[in-house]
Structure 1
Amino acid sequence: MNTVIDFLNTVFWGYILIYGLLAVGIYFTLRLGFMQFRHFPEFIRTVLKAPQSDRGGISPFQALCTSLASRVGTGNLAGVAVALSLGGPGAIFWMWMVALVGMATAYAESTLAQLYKVRDDNGQLRGGPAFYIARGLNAPWAGAVFSIALILTFGLIFNAVQANSIADAMQGAFGMPKLGTGVILAILAGVVIFGGIKKIARCAELVVPFMAGAYLLVALYVIALNLSEVPAVFALIVKSAFGLEQAAGGIAGAMLNGIKRGLFSNEAGMGSAPNIAAVATPNPHHPSSQGMVQALGVFIDTLLICTATALMILLSGVMGADPELSGIPLTQTAMSVHIGAAGQYFIAIAIFFFAFTSIIGNYTYAENAMVFLKLGNRAGLTVLRSLGLLMVVWGAYESVATVFNAADAAMGLMATINLIAILMLSGLVVKLTRDYFSQSREQTPVFDPADYPEVASQIDLNIWNEHKHRVAGTATQDSLPDGVETQR
């Protein structure tokens, strides 16, 4: 079995995805006219606008926080340190490049997820790659394969991986037994995920801004203390990226490790974040709006949080002092240089929050996949939640290397399916984007299904017409003189 898994990982991550994810990002960047640069202020506005009400949806800000809960994990701490160890400072430059083009991919997949969203039997909005694969490409079998891979990867195995990171950090910093950490973690996660997607979104809305904000504030403090050295660090990153500065791995090592870690961290193109993007009620009520929200998530994950980790490590001067130092120990050592003994505890606490929110964020993706497979009833979700929490306890004290390799293979499969799907539906993404910005020059954009007859039989018209009529009714009401009401 290990031989098969290793072979699949070599194919997916050695050939298909390392080039495919980057190529698709460049393709959408070009085809959408560099929208992530030209319209970046609009990305921020779509998050800050007041949420629209929907009986089965969450707000754009909640969707952003939930996707960040999944994106921002131990990779932002350990992954960046590994990239620096293997590829040198230049790896960070290539992480930036991957994120900048990945924003276009994240926009495309989340826009499609919004367009093809549906309501389940309880009125909750659902959607994701499985839905646009099945409906948009008339390939329900591929949607089912994608969903199974997603459940195995995000719903189960990644829970064990994140729990393992938390348990290691808690044991190293506070001497807590791993099994005890796993049990406490499972109880805390259970309280949240048994409340369903809306409770998870509310939790993410509170925890993620605090988590990311506290981490970035510490990073700003470190940068302020070493402000005179910051320009030299940025220069080192750029020079190393192009082999102008001697560094571990050379230009090839910097590029390869930066691209790999960037793709793992921001998840653009993986088909994960679109599952929560579909659950949101966007404002403006147009699929492109939620696509922009999720593109902003890639920016926050890599350009802000990963960069913060890299700068704190590079400014500490510990790089290269011990060739064996990598991953979380490297990050902890760097923090100890900046803030003393408290650095080890700060990183342990950061890992707890980063990994814990990843567990609850990952679960939301798996729940959507269960709905697609017609297993989203109470019994099916109870089984998924229970298995997910058992994986948390198991992962806290067991080695997860083999299982993690299996997760890589499953994630490689789902990412490959997703990339093919969004490429085949790229014309629709372009049309939606042009529609959004054409309307935005004169009014608040609103999606009108009548303008898209080619997908009329594939999307849930009730969802989109309901909001179109609501917006139209509001506009009519606002245009009437005071004291005059429309008849209902």
Structure 2
Amino acid sequence: MEQLDAFFAELSALLWGWPMIILLFGTHLFLTFRLRIPQRKIFTGIRLSVTKEPGAKGDVSQFGALTTALAGTIGTGNIVGVATAVALGGPGAVLWCWMSGFFGIATKYAEGLLAVKYRVTSPDGLHYGGPMYALERGLDMKWLAVLFAVFTVLASFGIGGAVQANSMALLASATWEIPGWCVGVVACIMAGLVIIGGIKTIARVCSFLVPIMAVLYMLGCFAILVINHEYVWPAIKLIVESAFHPAAAGGGLAGATVMMAARYGIARGLFSNESGMGSAPIVAAAAQTRNPVRQALVSSTGTFWDTVVICATTGIVLVSSILAHPDIGYENGGTLTREAFSKIPYIGAPLLSFGILTFAFTTILGWAYYGESCIKYLSGGKAKRLYQFLYVGSVFVGSVVSLDVIWNFADSMNALMAIPNLVALLLLSKVVVRDTERYLWNKQLDEWESEEEESEPPITG
């Protein structure tokens, strides 16, 4: 296990070096300005996310697709992931995480647009899309599409199944002294019952759980900020200053470098909001929408809620807690989070427990659909049941193995997924700009995409 951990640690460090950071963040910046700062349309996207689309093609509502995507993104990356970034990269990692989210809104927009633009309808009437279809149908790069699908399947076992189950098991062990294998068995049964119902069942469960868990978690964060009110502004200043000059952190927090802050901040930002990774557009392709731009705007709100709001708030909560309680344990992400929430009288620990359990469970559901869609792309649906069995198995494995191995594996697979997806985004940026100009800039958001446009997307590669 130690050798395996060392291998993935080295691979993760290699993949998340400056080339990846430049490619990912550079794509965020390029699309932000190429699309005339689509972040300013975020409230339009929020409105559309709760607007029904009667008669539109798709399998689930835009709200259902959004909450399923949020189920895959709002998870341990928001709680333990941000804490891990602070523990490893210092307070400055929070700012890099936030910036990856703000500029990543443009990338998530482009991903959602291409997902709908190049989606296909299966013989059973279901809609499938994502980077693998954009790469094959838009760029005629089947080989790269296959690589993306393979990496996504592997990533689903890590970021989707094992990481989430690991967080649930650690919480249950520390709080109630429940053995990890018990948590694994229960999680496997519950996840299996939902996953077997397909995207419609997953979307219904996520539409119910995601809003509730997000609101409760944010209320807990605001309670901590009230308790730490004297340290909130100093925490914000420390986050900004240490992002570019880590020595400003002072004390034990000053051990991180700018590279470490950027690496862990951007990596955990990607883990949390998945902008640029190519996972969320897989479920966006199943949305009922009249044209690609409407769903693109809805998809972009996922990054806004996940990182710009929730992750940023979590980061300020954690850093203000460190300043308010210098003796708090911040060397470990999980410990830091538990210590911060324990400062809320009576309900702090139960609230965190509920948040981690529900966040992790819904993430398991969201990633199950991502992996299943890629298996369908690779095998034509022949290996669907086998994948579901193996995926549920990864949930159990995650509940009984060490955290370091899982996180390093997840980071490695995230990077390998991101590379072909970013290639698709950059090479198909003209398609994104063209449709954005037609529907958004020319104020034709209510226009329906024609049958010919849906069935014969242009080959631009």
Give the TM-score taking structure 2 as reference length.
0.90
Match of 1:259 in 2: 266
The yes-or-no answer on 1:29 pairing with 2:36 is: no
1:42 is aligned with what amino acid?
T
Secondary structure, in 3 states, of the residue corresponding to 1:33? coil
In structure 2, the partner of 1:381 is: 384
SS at match of 1:455: coil
* 1:49-448 equivalences in 2 (<5 Å): 49-53=51-55, 56-155=58-157, 158-227=160-229, 229-243=231-245, 246-247=248-249, 248=254, 249=256, 251-282=258-289, 285-316=290-321, 317=323, 320-322=326-328, 325-337=331-343, 339-340=344-345, 342-377=347-382, 380-399=383-402, 401-402=404-405, 404-440=407-443, 444-448=446-450
Q: 2: distance between equivalents of 1:14 and 1:457?
A: 33
Deviates more, 1:214-223 or 1:85-94: 85-94
**Cα distance between partner residues in 2 of 1:230 and 1:374:** 52
CA distance, structure 2, for counterparts of residue 14 and residue 32 of structure 1: 27
- Aligned Cα RMSD in Å? 2.6
Give the distance between the partners of 1:433 and 1:66, measured in 2 at CA: 24
- C-alpha separation between the residues in 2 aligned to 1:454 and 1:198? 27
**Cα distance change, pair 42–130 in 1 and its aligned pair in 2 (3 A):** same
Task: Report the alpha carbon displacement of residue 419 of structure 1 after superposing the two structures with TM.
Answer: 0.6
CA distance in 2, matches of 1:161, 1:238: 29
Q: Please, which runs of 5 or more residues in structure 2 have no aligned partner?
A: none
Percent of pairs with identical residues? 36
Residue of structure 1 aligned with 2:20, choices 17, 21, 26: 17
CA shift in 2, pair 1:152/1:257, >3 Å: closer
Paired residues of 2:15 and 2:412 also in contact (CA < 8 A): yes
Contact 2:75 2:360 (8 Å CA) reproduced: yes
Q: Which residue type is aligned with residue 449 of structure 2?
A: F
1:408 to 1:252, Cα distance in 2 relative to 1, 3 A: closer
Q: Which moved more, 1:82-91 or 1:19-28?
A: 82-91
Residue 371 to residue 80, structure 1, CA distance change in 2 (3 Å)? same
- Residue 322 of structure 1 and its aligned partner are, at CA, apart by 4.8
Say if 2:151 and 2:413, in contact at 8 Å, map to a contact too. yes
Change (3 A) 1:67 1:393: same
Alpha-carbon spacing, 1:28–1:457, altered in 2? closer, same or farther (3 Å): closer
Q: Judging changes above 3 Å, is the alpha-carbon distance between structure 1 residues 18 and 30 closer, same or farther for their aligned structure 2 residues?
A: same
1:244–1:260 Cα change, 3 Å: closer
Moved more, 354-363 or 306-315: 306-315
Q: Give the deviation of 1:135 after TM superposition.
A: 0.6
> TM-score scaled by structure 1?
0.85
Question: What one-letter code is carried by the residue in structure 2 that aligns with 1:433?
Answer: T
Distance apart, 1:36 and its partner CA: 1.0
Q: Which runs of 5+ in 1 are unaligned?
A: 459-488
Check the 8 A contact 1:57/1:279 in 2, yes or no.
yes
Letter in 1 for 2:356: I
Q: How many residues align?
A: 451
Give the C-alpha shift of residue 340 in structure 1: 3.2
What code does the residue aligned with 1:332 have?
R
**1: CA distance between counterparts of 2:426 and 2:448?**
25
Q: Which amino acid aligns with 1:257?
A: Y
Residue type at the aligned position of 2:421: N
Q: Distance in 1 between matches of 2:216 and 2:403?
A: 29
Using the alignment, how far apart are the partners of 1:288 and 1:182 within structure 2?
A: 40
Per-residue Cα deviation, 1:215-269 (whole angstroms, up to 9, x for no partner): 0112223334444543343233323334397212254543343223222221110
Superposed displacement of residue 78, structure 1:
1.3
